[in-house]
A = this chain, B = another copy of it.
Amino acid sequence: MHNNTLIHPSAIISPKATLGKNVTVGQYTTIYDNVIIDDNTTIEGYCEIGVQNHLSNGVTLHIGKNSYIRSHSIFYEGSTFKDNLTTGHRVTVREKTIAGENLQIGTLTDIQGDCIIGDYVRMHSNVHVGQKSKIGNFVWIFPYVVLTNDPHPPSEVLQGVTIEDFSVISTMSVILPNTTIKTGCLIGANSLLGIKTEPNTLYSGNPAKKICIASKLRLKDGSRKPAYPWKNHFTRGYPKEVILEWEEMSNEGII
């Protein structure tokens, strides 16, 4: 019924859904009723966008402009993503998550819902973001990281994890409930983190302990410059205005 060459004829699109200009929808994708997709966004094939769920309280799923959702992904109604969302394949996002601009969600990552996510957050493949997680800006989360929330499972107590700006969580780490990862921290691979953290510090191990100031780690590119804060050497994919913002932060001693 869509008189739009960007919509594959096998896509099933509710007439109640609102699609902006130049929205592309791939083969065999379903877009349900309670969805707003902004201009220039692509939804690849085999996706389900706006799955109905009683926990969503009927809130509309809103996907910002210039977004790109790769195939086999599932988004429930009830969440909001600002512009330039990019996902891998087979992503699952439940209801009531509010995310900022330029979020990247890797293949197989599972966002359980009721989360708050800042701008320019990059989650790699197969990350598990438990309910009530609060993630700042410019955070990196690597494969198979789990953000937990229940201090004595199963229970009715939900104490989500807080991750502050510029923090990095390496692969296969578990962050225990109610833990706050302070600005600029690095969590080593396969760690179990449940202690109080200080900013710009490396924690590692099972259980994770304080190792050193993160800036002690040196780049292995031959320069021997500090590897952290990573923003001082890694700028791929960030626009100029963001990098200028980072420089101001440095000048002000924020990070």
Contacts and interface: CB of A to CB of B under 8 A. Distances in A.
A205 interface: yes
B233 A155 contact: yes
Contacts of A159: 220
A153 to B, nearest CB: 6
A12 to B, nearest CB: 6
Given A154-B140, A228-B152, A190 B206 contact: yes
A68 interface: no
Contacts of A233: 155-156
Nearest to A12: B27
Q: State which size class the interface on A falls in.
A: 35 or more
* Identical chains in the assembly: 3
Contacts of A249: none
A155 B230 contact: yes
Contacts of A92: 88-90, 107-108
A125 B153 contact: no
A164 interface: no
Point out which of A12, A74, A151 has the most chain B C-beta atoms below 10 A from its C-beta. Answer: A74
A25 to B, nearest CB: 14
Interface in A158-200: 159, 168, 170-172, 174, 176, 189-190, 192
Interface string A192-222: 1000000000000111000000000101110
Contact of A30 (B27, B174, B192): B27
Given A48-B71, A174-B172, A227 B146 contact: no
26 contacts: A10-B12, A28-B46, A46-B46, A46-B48, A72-B74, A89-B92, A90-B90, A108-B108, A125-B128, A140-B154, A142-B153, A148-B171, A148-B189, A151-B220, A152-B217, A152-B228, A155-B219, A155-B221, A156-B234, A157-B219, A159-B220, A172-B172, A174-B189, A174-B190, A190-B192, A206-B206
